[in-house]
Amino acid sequence: MQKYFSQYLPVAAAFFITTFSTQSNAADQIYQCELNGLERRIEIHYQQETGLPPCEVRYFKEAELPDSMQILWSADNETGYCEEKAAKFRQKLEGWGWQCAPTPSTEEERLQQ
């Protein structure tokens, strides 16, 4: 048993490191918003490629706070929570005059090439 365990431990460790160290997933949804030359970005970030929770709604103010992110909402189990919150927030920005449009995620852009 000991020999069997030690033989496969490096393979299992490599699998877990590869699986859980990704920053962005194919299922991430991104909305780019613009107003008078300013840019804002709303992202629904999933920790799994399934597009299911856990998830976060992330907000970026590109010009005002470069490389800064706010997590507005998150969900551990509730399916659709992040999507609903992001949609309502996008509608709020559009009500203030921002023009928002969905953009392909980084992974989707890579797959299209």
pLDDT in tens, the chain (113 residues): 455 444 543 433 333 333 333 344 445 899 999 999 999 999 999 998 888 899 999 999 978 888 889 999 999 999 999 999 999 999 999 999 999 999 976 445 545 55
Q: Full-prediction pTM beyond 0.75?
A: no
Which among 86, 4, 89, 96 has a CA at the least distance from the CA of 45?
A: 86
